[in-house]
Amino acid sequence: MLRVLALVSGGGTNLQAIIDAVAAEKIQNAELVGVISNNKTVKSLERAKNAGIPAFSVSPKDFENRELFYEAFLDKVNECRPDLIVLAGFLVAIPPKMVAQYSGRIINIHPSLIPSFCGVGYFGLKVHEKALERGVKVTGATVHFVTEGMDEGPIIAQKAVYIEDNDTPEILQRRVMEQAEWILLPQAIDDIANDRIEIRDGKVIRK
Ligand code: GAR
């Protein structure tokens, strides 16, 4: 059984998609062993608790500086002994020490077709605002391995979503979640848990 730890920051709809996929056995050979949030009062922690998954919060507000926060966060991650860390709407940069320790074992879902609308400053609703501002006709979501560079790791899967004329960032965000994110992220976890993919020369290939 692959021990999966989810890191979250907000609403947790991607976390819910993982919880539901495990329950429906769409994800096999994996269990959610914990959820950690950088916020104390988010809906995602409630979702974890409702599903009987240990839920923790480690907030930067409780620490004097970023270093100390990162240290405490990594301690909590290590306590969960994860095989795979899933950034399921986690909007904090991952400290390099954690990326190094869990190299090839952290994945992220991003709400655009990388390399568009990604990198520093592109997270959550902002990504959709920028896509609408630019007037692109197609956007989507990407699930990828996490490396030190923000949103630069090997791409596992992508799914395109069409933009419609009257879209607002909120409407588009919801469509990208429904049509892409909630499908891609559970699939990627299932692929990893069942050893179907590997990284070769910086790219993800199917075995
Ligand atoms: C999701 O759209 C996710 O792709 C995005 O934040 C949202 C979280 O929603 N993540 C990023 O922007 C990462 N750069 P959720 O809490 O309902 O899953």
Task: Kindly report, residue by residue over 118-129, the tens digit of the pLDDT.
Answer: 999 999 999 999
Q: Ligand 1 centroid vs 89 CA: distance in angstroms?
A: 4
| Positions marked active-site | 110
Residue in 34, 140, 134, 41 with CA at minimum distance from that of residue 88: 34
Q: Report whether pLDDT(117) > 90.
A: yes
Give the predicted TM-score (pTM) of the model: 0.97
* pLDDT reported for residue 129: 98
Calculate the CA 193 to chain-centre distance.
16
140 lines ligand 1 (CB under 6 A): no
* pLDDT reported for residue 34: 98
Task: Kindly report, residue by residue over 5-48, the tens digit of the pLDDT.
Answer: 999 999 999 999 999 999 999 999 999 999 999 998 789 999 99
Q: State the DSSP string of 118-179.
A: -STT--THHHHHHHHHHT-SEEEEEEEE--SSTT-SPEEEEEEEE--TT--HHHHHHHHIII
* pLDDT reported for residue 42: 83
169 lines ligand 1 (CB under 6 A): no
* pLDDT reported for residue 41: 79
124 lines ligand 1 (CB under 6 A): yes
Of the pLDDT bands very low, low, confident and very high (cuts 50, 70, 90), residue 174 is very high
Domain ranges, ordered by start, for the chain: 2-206
How far the first Cα of the chain sits from its last, in Å, is 20
Q: Which atom of ligand 1 lies at the shortest distance from residue 126's CA?
A: 12
* pLDDT reported for residue 163: 98
- Please state the rounded mean pLDDT for residues 130-158: 97
For the domain bounded by 2-206, which CATH number is listed? 3.40.50.170
